[in-house]
C-alpha cells in the first residue's frame, strides 16, 4: 500500500438535524395531520376545514367530537371546531343571507389545502420552540353551485391553524372580491373537552351583557362566574378582550383569547336536547363538553369591495 504524504483527515461529522414537525395526509386525502416532535398534534378535515382533533404531548384529546359525527362530507361535523360563515343563525329579514341555512356554508364546503409552514429548529435547539401552521382556502370560484346560488358574492377565505406546544390558534381572513359590499358573520364553534361539566366554571365574562337564547332571547348581564346546570345557549358581548378561562374542579384548564372577535357564545345542549340530536353521541356526551366560541355575530361585518376582515382565537392549555 502506497503511503500518501498528505492524506486527508477524516471528514467532520455533519450535525444531525433536530426533529421537525411532520405533516401527513390521509390515504383518501380527506384530512391533514400535523405532529410536533414533542407529540402534540392537530387533525383537520378538508370538509369544512374542520379541526376534528387536538392532542397534547401526552396524547390527551382537548376537543370533544361526537361519536356519531359524520366525517365523510355528507353533513356538518358535530364537534371539533366547525367554521361559521357567512351567517350565524337563520335571518329571514336580512336580504343577503335570508336563503342560507343556519351557520352558513363554510362548514359544509370542501376546502383546499394551501400549504404548511413551520418554525425552523437548528441543531441543538429546543423542540419546545417548534410550531407548525396549516393554511386552507375557500372562494366563490370553488364553492358548490347550490351554495353560490344562495349567496352570489365574490369572496375569498383563508383559514390558518397554528399548533404550538401549549396552544392552538385558529384564524380566518375574509376578503370581498366583489364589486359591491356584502355583510357577513364569523364564528369559531369550538367544542372543548371536559371531564365533568358540573365541575366547570367559566370566568372572564363578568359584567358582560348577553342574549339568553334559552330564555326567549332576553338580554341579561353576567354577574358571577358561569356554571353550567342545564341547557345553555348564550351570546356574550364582553366590553373588553379579557381571556375567557375554563376551570374544572378548581384547576384552570383552558384560556381562550380573542383577536377582533367581539362575541363569545357559550353552549351546552344538556340532556333533553342532546338526546334529540341524531348526530350527538353518546347521549350523555354533554357532560364532557362545553362550547366556548369566539365570533362576530351580534351584528354584521360590512365589507366594501376590496376590504378584508380577520378574526382569531388562541386556546392555551394550563400545565
Q: Which residues are the active-site residues?
A: 189, 293
Reported as type and span, the H/E element at residue 274 is: helix 270-275
How far apart CA 156 and CA 88 sit, in angstroms, is 18
Binding residue per annotation — 78? yes
Listed residue (48, 58, 214, 37) closest to 121, CA to CA: 37
Binding residue per annotation — 31? no
Listed residue (277, 314, 300) closest to 68, CA to CA: 277
Alpha carbon separation from 316 to 9, 118, 188, 276, 319 (Å, rounded): 51, 19, 15, 32, 10
3 state SS for the chain:
CCCCCCCCCCCCCCCCCCCCCEEEECCCCCEEEEECCCCCEEEEECECCEEEEEECCCCCECECECCCCCCCCCCCCCECECEEECCCCCCCCCCCCCCCCCCECHHHCECEEEEEEECCCCCCCCHHHCCEEEEEEEEHHHCCHHHHHHCCCCEEEEEEEEECCCEEEEEEEEEECCCCCEEEEEEECCEEECCCHHHEEEECCCCCEEEECCCCCEEEECCCCEECCCCEEEEEECCCCCCEEEEECCEEEEEEEEECCCEEEEEECHHHHHHCCCCCCCHHHHHHEEEEEEEEEEEEEEECCCCEEEEEEEEEECC
Binding residue per annotation — 165? no
Q: Which residues are annotated as a binding site?
A: 78, 102, 107
Q: Which residues are annotated as a binding site for substrate?
A: 78, 102, 107
Amino acid at each position: 500500500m502506497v503511503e500518501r504524504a498528505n492524506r486527508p483527515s477524516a471528514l467532520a461529522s455533519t450535525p444531525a438535524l433536530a426533529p421537525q414537525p411532520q405533516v401527513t395526509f390521509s390515504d383518501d386525502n380527506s384530512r391533514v395531520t400535523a405532529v410536533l416532535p414533542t407529540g402534540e398534534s392537530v387533525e383537520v378535515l378538508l370538509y369544512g376545514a374542520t379541526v376534528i382533533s387536538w392532542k397534547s404531548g401526552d396524547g390527551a384529546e382537548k376537543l370533544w367530537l361526537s361519536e356519531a359525527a359524520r366525517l365523510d362530507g355528507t353533513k356538518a361535523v358535530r364537534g371539533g371546531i366547525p367554521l361559521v360563515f357567512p351567517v350565524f343563525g337563520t335571518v329571514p329579514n336580512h336580504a343577503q343571507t335570508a336563503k342560507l341555512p343556519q351557520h352558513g356554508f363554510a362548514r359544509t364546503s370542501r376546502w383546499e389545502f394551501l400549504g404548511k409552514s413551520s418554525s425552523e429548529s437548528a441543531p441543538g435547539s429546543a423542540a419546545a420552540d417548534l410550531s407548525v401552521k396549516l393554511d386552507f382556502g375557500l372562494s366563490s370560484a370553488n364553492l358548490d353551485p347550490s351554495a353560490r346560488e344562495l349567496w352570489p358574492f365574490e369572496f375569498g377565505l383563508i383559514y390558518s391553524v397554528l399548533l404550538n406546544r401549549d396552544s392552538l390558534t385558529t384564524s380566518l381572513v375574509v376578503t370581498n372580491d366583489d364589486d359591491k359590499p356584502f355583510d357577513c358573520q364569523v364564528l369559531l364553534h369550538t367544542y372543548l373537552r371536559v371531564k365533568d361539566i358540573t365541575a366547570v366554571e367559566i370566568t372572564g365574562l363578568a359584567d358582560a351583557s348577553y342574549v339568553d337564547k334559552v330564555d326567549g332571547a332576553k338580554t341579561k348581564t353576567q354577574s358571577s362566574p358561569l356554571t353550567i346546570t342545564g341547557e345553555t345557549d348564550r351570546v356574550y358581548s364582553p366590553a373588553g378582550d379579557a381571556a375567557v378561562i375554563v376551570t374544572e374542579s378548581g384547576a384552570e384548564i383552558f384560556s381562550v383569547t380573542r383577536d377582533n372577535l367581539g362575541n363569545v357564545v357559550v353552549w351546552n345542549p344538556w340532556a333533553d336536547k342532546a338526546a334529540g340530536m341524531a348526530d350527538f353521541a353518546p347521549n350523555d356526551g354533554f357532560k364532557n363538553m362545553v362550547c366556548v366560541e369566539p365570533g362576530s355575530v351580534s351584528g354584521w361585518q360590512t365589507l366594501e369591495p376590496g376590504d378584508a376582515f380577520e378574526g382569531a382565537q388562541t386556546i392555551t392549555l394550563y400545565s
